[in-house]
Structure 1
Amino acid sequence: MTTAMETTEKLSDPSGRGFVDGYRITFPQRQHAYTEAEIAAVVDVMRNAEGQTQGPYLEKFEADFAEFTGANFAFGVSNCTNALKLAGIFSGVGPGDEVIVPGYTYCASAIPFGDLGADLVWADIHPETWTIDPDDIERKITPRTKAIVAVHLLGLPADMRRIMDIADRHGLKVIEDCAQALDCTIDGQHVGTFGDFGCFSFHAAKTMTTLGEGGMLTVKDADIAARVPGIRHNGLAAIPGPRERYWVPAMSNVDSFLDEQWPQNFCLGEAQCALGSEELKSIVPNNELLIEQDLKIRAALADTPEITFPQVVEGGRYVVHQYVMHFDGSAFGKDRNDLLDLLTAKYGIRSIVQYYPLYRFPLFQKMGYGEADTPFLEKWWDDSFSFPWWCGITDEEIEIMTSSLKAAIADLKAG
């Protein structure tokens, strides 16, 4: 059979997504197809927008996003990595500072802070939620700590009450990486609005995407918010004061907006912004469908103790960005690799392993961050894996995946 998102594309994404011949179910590269309304929004910009960037569609998208999340201020940017970079800049992160980042996350959660010259300090994950462990954050704080990066990985909210309490007591900035967590809340408050900054992604693999790339930075402080547009767009600003001729000395000024800080170009195009405003209308029902899929899989595997799932912090709404599970075959001497070998070769299910502990990557090792004190992550990660996941998995596909997983485990038990 073919999957709901099957295409003729060959595998090109190093994450392991994309249709691959020979499997019953594989990972799609996108969570869902664009609707006709979303396509029409992009075409409207192509036909009618006077400018293709920094215009009314950006203003509308930022206003729509701030309203959706409850953020004080929202700024469209080219991607979440650059949103994190801006958050680091406005947090004053630089050489000699330490930034605490979970060891288990996507690489972009850490790279911007290393690029700013900070020392990366790896935090462990919580044994139940699989997000950054507040107790370990507090253990890792030193006089050089400048900021905490709280990642809401997999659409699971980190424990922001604990994290904010720790940050407030130690005078630290909190940067929320919400790349996978749009529509994720704690007691009704949207992630990205607890800390000083929230950073969101609209990459193709997300539930909401703006033509493959895109991001949003949310900001709590009004003074910082006033400076974001200039830093985001090459320092461009109006020339102050009245002018005898509108073209003298030139049409715009260039100002760094921060002492000794070069501006950046992290702009988001108008077509992407128009699409973003339209996609915000469907994010909640799409996430509800993903949650419904998750509950069906959990119910089907309730009698399979070898498979465990993450828990959600009290009062949290999760949004199930990727479908990560943990396998424990220690009772019969088998591990995750044994399980995936069977799932792929015998049952045609292309599961993948993702979010390698960052300190194991060559990049971070070369940069001097190859060591970590993360005992739970070290014993947990090597038996984690991800089911194929997208918005709109059919009941038949869920039954194929879950029954195949149970059968593979039975095979392993039988030797």
Structure 2
Amino acid sequence: MNRTPLLDLAGQHRWIRVEIQEAMRRVLDSGRYILGPEVKALEEEVAAFSGTRHGIGVANGTDALLLTLDAWGIGPGDEVITSPFTFFATAEVISRLGARPVFIDIDPETYLLDVEQLEQKYTPRTRAILPVHLFGQPADMDEVTAFAKDYGLKVLEDAAQAIGAEYKGRKVGSFGDAASYSFFPTKNLGGYGDGGMVITDDEELAKKLRSLRVHGRGSQSKYHHIALGYNSRLDELQAAALRVKLRYLEAWNEARRVKAEIYDQSLADLPIVIPTVPADRKHIYHLYIIQTRRRQELMKHLRDQGIDTAAYYPVPLHLQEVYRDLGYREGDLPVAEEVSRRAMALPLGPELDEVAQDGVVAAIRDFFLG
């Protein structure tokens, strides 16, 4: 039985193996392995791609969030509003700084932050909003940024899953005060290990982040420190590989959209929920998410036929054990809780061929229609 993976990273690599090998050979021959010319070039290229002035490479996407909030001085006594339906790191970084994540429910159609609830969750302790561009779909940035401006809040876009996605004709990451990217291997722009980046138009923030990522180093020498920082540096090998992949990103994202449309058309008559994309967004389908009340049964049916799937996200953040002391109870954020019980990802990626995708569709239709 041929296996259909959720994402075929090995297949992607085969297409660009020679270019990747040449890029890595260039780094190895140079003798520069941390924060060298490849990182600088990638920072400039990603910032330009995203429509921002500065890129700051860091060790991973989590650090991209953490260092930015730290640079803004967010800490004990502060609150940051964010989504309960996302990867744990989004809230974890808030808590790691001693601040409090404040969760608001999600829109039932897009799974994004329900901006209508911002007002009721705001308090005098609120310092920032952390919207998530989830699964590759942009959040409602006009509403988020307008609310933030009215109340003097910072906006940090979690764009870990959405590099290249667009909201009203502009790339995500160019709306807030800063944005974070993850280059984890499974991302649309993924490396061969961990990596991340902050993008921003704020020159002072960029300067602070470049200091924080190297132990709070000052400008006088490598042994002069002006802040308590981090060891969060993007390495040259990852940057060189990511520069190769960045050249293909727009084409890969378009291929994802084409395959997502095939799923849309092929599954529309079944008793499942397929993705909803507002007309003013360009979704890049980091994941293709459906909902069904029979999630576990369907996942087993597909697994038995060699088709990989995954549940996203089975436990919403406000109900995680580590956040028990925040006082949330089941039923507090009903949309996120219901989606967490029903949402699952189907195989998708630029490498998913027509035969494999037809097999996924046939298996799902057989499950529901017999």
Label 1:26 to 1:279 Cα distance change in 2 as closer, same or farther (>3 A): closer
Q: Are residues 1:58 and 2:39 paired?
A: yes
Amino acid at match of 1:110: A
**Counterparts of 2:312 and 2:43, CA distance in 1:** 31
Q: Tell me, in whole angstroms, the C-alpha distance in 1 between the residues paired with 2:329 and 2:117.
A: 15
Q: For 2:41 and 2:142, how far apart are their aligned partners in 1?
A: 31
Give the counterpart letter for 1:66 in structure 2.
Answer: A
Query: Is 2:276 the counterpart of 1:355?
Result: no
Between the aligned partners of 2:132 and 2:47, the Cα distance in structure 1 is: 20
Give the match for residue 354 of structure 2. Answer: 395
What residue number does 1:318 align with? 283
**Residues 353-410 of structure 1, C-alpha deviation per residue, up to 9 Å, x if partnerless?**
1223112332333x54654731222233212111123321111111111111111112
| AA partner of residue 364 (structure 1) | Y
Offset at residue 296 of structure 1 (A): 0.9
Q: Does 1:38 align with 2:17?
A: no
Say which is worse superposed, 192-201 or 182-191, in terms of deviation.
182-191
- Give the residue type in structure 1 aligned to 2:302: L
Greater per-residue helix proportion: 2
Partner of residue 169, structure 1: 150
Given residue 352 of structure 1, which amino acid in structure 2 is its aligned partner? A
Aligned residue number for residue 211 of structure 1: 192
**Which of residues 260, 263, 273 is equivalent to 2:239?**
273
TM-superposition CA deviations, 1:329-367 (whole Å, max 9, x none): xxxxxx32233333334x4433221223112332333x5
SS at match of 2:286: coil
Structure 1 residues 292, 384: closer, same or farther in 2, change over 3 A?
same
User: Secondary structure at 1:308's aligned position in 2?
Assistant: coil
Pair 1:126 & 2:110 matched: no
What is residue 292 of structure 1 aligned with on the other side? 258
- Unaligned stretches of 5+ residues in structure 2: none
Distance 1:263 1:311 in 2: 41
Counterparts in 2 of 1:361-376, with a 5 A limit?
Answer: 361-365=320-324, 368=326, 370-371=328-329, 373-376=332-335
- 1:324 alignment partner AA: I
Q: CA RMSD in A?
A: 1.9
Query: What is the correspondence of 1:138-287 to structure 2 with a 5 Å cutoff?
Result: 138-239=119-220, 252-256=222-226, 261-287=227-253
Summarize deviations over 1:267-291 as a string: whole Å, max 9, x none: 1111211222221101001111111
**CA–CA separation in structure 2 for the residues paired with 1:276 and 1:222:** 24
Query: In the TM superposition, what is the alpha-carbon distance from 1:141 to its structure 2 partner?
Result: 1.0
User: Partner amino acid for 1:52?
Assistant: Y
Secondary structure of the corresponding residue to residue 162 of structure 2: coil
Structure 1 residues without counterparts, runs of 5 or longer: 3-23, 240-250, 329-334
CA distance in 2: counterparts of 1:57 and 1:343, whole angstroms: 42
Give yes or no for contact 1:110–1:120 (8 Å, CA) kept in 2.
Answer: yes
- Give the C-alpha shift of residue 210 in structure 1: 2.1
Count of residues in correspondence between the two structures: 365
Find the aligned partners of 2:78 and 2:329 in 1 and give their Cα distance. 18
- Matched residue SS, 1:183: coil
Q: After the TM superposition, which parts of structure 1 deviate over 4 Å for at least 4 consecutive aligned residues?
A: none
Name the structure 2 match of 1:381.
340
User: Per-residue displacement from partner, 1:291-319 (whole Å, max 9, x unpaired)?
Assistant: 11111111111222x12222223421110
CA distance in 1, matches of 2:168, 2:21: 34
Residue 253 of structure 1 deviates from its aligned partner by: 4.0
TM-score by structure 1 length?
0.83
The amino acid of 1:113's aligned partner reads I
Question: How many percent identity over aligned positions?
Answer: 30
1:268 & 1:191 partners in 2: Cα distance?
22
Q: TM-score, normalised by structure 2?
A: 0.93
